[in-house]
């Protein structure tokens, strides 16, 4: 296997982790010129393995299920602390939307000490966890179940969610980029979460520090659209400056 092939295989592996890389990222990772990085991206696009975006590249195929399963244990302790901190901010009897993903599953687990919650989610994992709260009301849309994370989707999912009103929408994301945009990897998932945000009095973002500076494929919103953010460690540098320029309330899980 020649050097170019090995480099492109490693580039695909990195894309499975981050979903998006800029040409500058590729140049720095592999110590090559931006021209070489651009040629590698063009080769992968011709092979149908990647898709060029402005100034960078993303995968054309969904993330490998093995990668998604690995994420289930990534930063598990931090996510548990975040879940507990979010639960402390939710009064009994609240009407809430809960996003899919491992961080929101930690939130659902932490909410089991509450009473009278009314919950809408498109995550069967979250709904199953909450089913142990015997006086909870839990609603899920119908549709096809996405492998690995058990998200339920169909074309009408955003419409279903839009029929409800929430005190809080609890969301999590794949990344917060340098512009303060919060992003995710799946367009259908983003549409469902945006529908919940529109129907909520407040939006709470639950996110661990590994997501800072990470760009995902689809923009969900901006930090300016979020009311509260619960994390395991505060952002630093330019991202912290962007956060401070908003009215967002930051809470660091103890």
DSSP secondary structure of 192-244: HHHHHHHTEEEEEEE--GGGBT---SEEEEEGGG-SEEEESS---HHHHHHHH
CATH of domain 69-252: 3.40.50.1360
Q: What is the mean pLDDT of residues 224-243?
A: 94
| CATH class, 3-61 region | mainly alpha
Residue 146: pLDDT band (50, 70, 90) is confident
Residue 117 scores a pLDDT above 70: yes
Residue spans of the domains in the chain: they are: 3-61, 69-252
pTM, 2 dp: 0.75
Residue 9 scores a pLDDT above 80: yes
């Amino acid at each position: 296997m020649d050097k170019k092939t090995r480099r492109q295989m490693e580039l695909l592996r990195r894309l499975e982790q981050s979903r998006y890389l800029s040409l500058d990222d590729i140049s720095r990772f592999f110590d090559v010129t931006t021209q070489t990085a651009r040629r590698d991206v063009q080769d992968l696009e011709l092979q149908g393995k990647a898709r060029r975006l402005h100034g960078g590249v993303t995968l054309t195929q969904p993330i490998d299920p093995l990668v998604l399963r690995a994420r289930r244990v990534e930063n598990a302790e931090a996510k548990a602390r975040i879940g507990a901190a979010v639960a402390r901010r939710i009064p009994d009897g609240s009407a809430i939307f809960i996003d899919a993903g491992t961080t929101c599953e930690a939130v659902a687990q932490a909410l089991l000490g509450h009473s009278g919650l009314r919950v809408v989610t498109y995550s069967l994992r979250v709904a199953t966890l909450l089913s142990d709260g015997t006086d909870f009301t839990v609603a899920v849309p119908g549709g096809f179940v996405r492998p690995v994370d058990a998200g339920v989707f169909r074309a009408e999912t955003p419409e279903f969610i839009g029929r409800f009103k929430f005190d809080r929408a609890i969301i999590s994301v794949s990344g917060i980029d340098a512009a303060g945009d919060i992003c995710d990897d799946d367009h259908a998932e983003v549409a469902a979460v945006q529908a919940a945000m529109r129907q909520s009095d407040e939006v709470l973002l639950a996110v661990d520090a590994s997501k800072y500076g990470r760009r995902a494929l689809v923009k969900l919103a901006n930090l300016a659209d979020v009311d509260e953010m619960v994390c395991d460690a505060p952002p630093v540098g330019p991202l912290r400056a962007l956060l401070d320029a908003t009215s967002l309330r930051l809470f660091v899980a103890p």
